Every structure is written in structure tokens, then in C-alpha cells.
Amino acid sequence: MRRRLSVCSVLALLIAVALSACGSSGSSDNGVAAKSPDAIVTASSNALLGVTTVHVSGAFVSSGVPTALNLYLVSHKGARGSMSQSGLSFQLVSVGGEVYINGSPAFWRHFGGNAAAALFNGKWLKAPATGQFSSLSSLTNLSQLFNKLLGQHGTLTKSAVKSVDGQSVVPVTDTTNGGTLYVATTGKPYPVAIIKTGSGGGRIDFSDFDQPVKLAAPANAIDISQLR
């Protein structure tokens, strides 16, 4: 099955259904630019899945809706950070099989009215990372997120090595669906960014590989099961 390189396939944002530069290690040429486009994507995927932590951030438009994410992912443990859609923002922690959400007043008011905004103002909501929140939880899972970002693609082509935010990269573009993956050509072949132009485009950056990330469940969270 073919895989699509598309920023738009990232979005599976909470409640709607249930949504920097890269530092490479070392400076020597890693040889990835000489590989085929498919082999470059595979090498980048393998490099990313080998890290313990990574910072994923960006903004894009999906189905006409502005979306942003700023997540610190910890392999096999979860993530913390923030997301927003159409200006409705919330903080997020995923750990220990649970998802914790702390939305802005506008976020809760939009999805639950004034009563929800009053009840959850300044508080964390706790729910299982399965069921209605599974699509959100998948965005905090390193391997699942990268699979969403790459998705199914058409024909891939690579371009000449260039620089993105001071990092030497080789671009791999999906000529069928749009979207370009930029892979580091020095150190490990980490993904540096995924960029798609046009009205449905945007950019996602990968950085801070293997940097310390504190991940802990928020205290005194309201269990969603107690609200039913």
C-alpha cells in the first residue's frame, strides 16, 4: 500500500471527533542524500523511532480549519504540550493510559456551554486514552504520529540538498498529493520539517531529539467517568 506525505493527515483533534530548527548530532555527511526517495523516508522514520524524546510543533490548515500543535513526545510513555483549532486551545498530557485536558474558557464554552466553562475553568479533565479519545491519544504516540504524518503517498521525488533553518537537508516531495519532507543530511537522518504549500498547507517541525522531558499526570484531575 502506498503512503501519502501530507500535513493535513495529522488532524484528528479532540472533541470534534473525540488536534524550530532541528539539531542533528554531529556534522558529518550521513549519506542519506544519495539514497532513493523511498529509502530516505524509511531512514528518517527509523531515525525518529529510535529517539527517546522529540519536540513536534507547527501550524497548518485542515479542511479550512487553522490548527496548531506544540507537543513534547516521550517514546513508549506519552506526551505533554498544547493544541488549538480555530483559536480554541487546550493543554494536554498523555501518560499511564490516561489523557488529561485543560482547556481555555473559550474551548469549554464552545463544546459544553457556559456550565462547562464554569465547571472546568482552570481544571484538568481525565479520561482513558481509548474510546472517544483514541484519535487524540494517537497524536501523542511517537510511532503513530509519524505514520499519520507520512500516511499514504503517491510518487516521491528528491531534490538537491539545501538548508532549512541552518540545517542541511534533502527534500523528498510527494508529487501526487503535495507535501515535502526535509531530512537531515548530517548526523542522524532525522526529519527536520514537513511542509505543504497552498490553502490546505502548513508546516510541522521536529526538534530537541533525546532532550530531557518531564512527564507526569496533573494532580486533582476530574475523572470524566464521574460526570456520566
Question: Is 7 in contact with 150 (CB distance < 8 Å)?
Answer: no
Give the pairing type, strands 53-62 and 78-85: unpaired
Q: Quick: pLDDT tens for 89-108.
A: 999 999 999 999 999 999 99
Q: Quick: pLDDT tens for 121-173.
A: 999 999 998 877 777 777 788 888 877 776 667 899 999 999 999 999 999 99
The pLDDT of residue 16 is: 31
The pLDDT of residue 150 is: 66
Question: Which residue's C-alpha cell is 469549554?
Answer: 108
The pLDDT of residue 225 is: 77
pLDDT at 24 over 60: no
The pLDDT of residue 27 is: 64
The pLDDT of residue 152 is: 66
The pLDDT of residue 3 is: 43
Amino acid (one-letter) located at 137: S
| Residue among 53, 57, 48 at smallest CA distance from 20 | 57
End-to-end CA distance of the chain: 41
Residue 106 CA, chain-centre distance (Å), reads 23
Q: State the average pLDDT for the chain.
A: 83
| Residue among 188, 163, 176 at smallest CA distance from 45 | 188
Question: pTM here?
Answer: 0.82
Q: Quick: pLDDT tens for 175-203.
A: 887 889 999 999 999 999 999 887 778 99
Cell of 164: 532549512
Domain 7-227 has CATH 2.50.20.20: yes
Mean per-residue pLDDT, 48-77: 90
Give the pairing type, strands 53-62 and 65-74: antiparallel
Sort residue 32 into left (φ over 0), alpha (ψ -120 to 50) or beta.
alpha
Mean per-residue pLDDT, 211-216: 95
Domain boundaries, the chain: 7-227
Residue partners of 119: CB distance under 8 A and separation at least 6: 108, 112
